[in-house]
Amino acid sequence: MSSTMREDIRSSGEASRNGIVRRMVSLPRSLIGGFSRAMGQGRGRIGIGRRTQTLPSNFQMQNPEESLIVPETFTFLHSFEQHYGTMHPFFYACQFMEALKIAKDEHKFLFMYLHSPEHPFTPSFCRETLSSELVVQFLDANFVSWAALADKEEGLQMAATLNPSCFPFCAIIAPAPSDSIAVLQQMEGPISPTELIGILQRTVEEQGLAFRSQRAKQAEQNQKIIADRRLRDEQDAAYLAALHIDKEKEKLKSSALADRIQKQVQVHNKANAEKVENHFNNTNTGKMKASTTRETQYKEFGNRGKDPQAAQILIRFPNGERREQCFSSTDKVQAIYRYIDSLGLPVIGNYRLISSFPRKVYGVDQMGMTLKDAGLHPRASLFLELL
């Protein structure tokens, strides 16, 4: 490990004791604006990279303009695999801001690598550290990984923003408010697989709890806002309903239906008064309607999970989509393939299923195994890898 990186890690450790993050960095407008335009034109889903995926010779974009979105990442993946092989972390071939959003949605940190092919430390780092199976498995299980060339497009902009003093350069990043990112840790210069995993593990342990607490607090605030808005909407609806009944009552005041309308008003007002009172009681005791909904969903999920033979399988697709399906522990691995085929996804051709940590392939040889014998019971998470 270089002296520069040792000093950086030491200073990062001091910062983590004094605050939540190492430093906050404002992103260039070009990064944020480019992501907004791409998403606005409906092209944000292009190009999720796979660890063993290479672009076929007959690959064509559906829209020629789409090649403007992520050519740099495809170039990096192609160059990396040509020189160092296909064993590398699951790099998302998308724009930086989209990768950051994926990390935020999955409640993970972003691992960023800026690749400088001409630097003398780069070959040994890529061959020995970044291609290490332990590093690959740890990153795939705990991080969303993104990489770019340090001298082109977004990679160049990130290098100018973070200003590394040496390569190879890696950083652990978390989303932050406004147009900023939180740089939790950065590593410069050569580093062994054991040292890298140690830094990654320590950062997750030290920083993860603080950020999870912030997310939980924000989620609770959002749920309270939603519950309050729902309560106001119901009160408004109750007022409008009562107003409508009053108007109908005026129209029928001189008729024989006046008494019946009066009774309906009383019943309606009583029901709405009870509903409003229940909402306020739930607010005062910390049991909002949103929490009740989550409790109901949890109970429904728990009742389904009471079946000891049930196996919950989470499948991640190349475009970032995730689906969860329940199987029986006695079902064969082939049942998962049949389920995926039944979805009729147009971009899915030949593929195989892989567990990330520990990494294990479930291919043709494992088709006849039961989910229990294959270690996929009671819960498992699988990557769908295109061939």
* Tens digit of each residue's pLDDT (9 = 90 or more) over 154-187: 889 889 989 898 999 999 999 887 778 889 999 9
Q: Examine the domain organization and report whether 186 and 314 are in the same domain.
A: no
Give residue 250's pLDDT: 81
Is 67 a residue whose pLDDT tops 70? no
The answer to whether position 52 is within a domain reads: yes
CATH code, domain carrying 361: 3.10.20.90
* Tens digit of each residue's pLDDT (9 = 90 or more) over 113-134: 999 988 999 999 999 999 999 9
Q: pLDDT averaged over the chain?
A: 77
Give residue 285's pLDDT: 57
Q: Examine the domain organization and report whether 41 and 117 are in the same domain.
A: yes
- Domains held by the chain: number: 3
Tell me the pLDDT band of 9, cut-offs 50, 70 and 90: very low
* Tens digit of each residue's pLDDT (9 = 90 or more) over 269-288: 888 777 766 765 665 555 44
The answer to whether position 283 is within a domain reads: yes
The answer to whether position 196 is within a domain reads: no
Is 57 a residue whose pLDDT tops 50? no
> Of 92, 100, 98, whose CA–CA distance to 49 is shortest?
92
Q: Examine the domain organization and report whether 257 and 296 are in the same domain.
A: yes
**DSSP character string of 88-105:** ---B--S-HHHHHHHHHH
- Over range 200-224, report the average pLDDT: 73
Give residue 246's pLDDT: 84
Tokens of 346: 């147009």
Give residue 332's pLDDT: 93
Terminal CA-CA length for the chain: 37
Give residue 344's pLDDT: 84
- Over range 323-350, report the average pLDDT: 89
Give residue 33's pLDDT: 59
- Which uninterrupted H or E stretch holds 311? strand 310-316
Q: Examine the domain organization and report whether 242 and 349 are in the same domain.
A: no
* Tens digit of each residue's pLDDT (9 = 90 or more) over 300-313: 444 545 688 899 99
The answer to whether position 210 is within a domain reads: no
Q: Give the domain range for residue 335.
A: 307-386
Give residue 8's pLDDT: 45
Judge contact between 248 and 225, C-beta under 8 A: no
Residue 114 burial (10 A CB sphere; 0-12, 13-18, 19+): buried
Entry pTM:
0.46
The answer to whether position 95 is within a domain reads: yes
CATH code, domain carrying 29: 3.40.30.10
Is 36 a residue whose pLDDT tops 50? no
Tell me the pLDDT band of 261, cut-offs 50, 70 and 90: confident
Give residue 122's pLDDT: 93
The answer to whether position 201 is within a domain reads: no
Tokens of 96: 């930086």
Q: Examine the domain organization and report whether 103 and 24 are in the same domain.
A: yes
Residues of the chain above pLDDT 70, percent: 71
Tell me the pLDDT band of 255, cut-offs 50, 70 and 90: confident
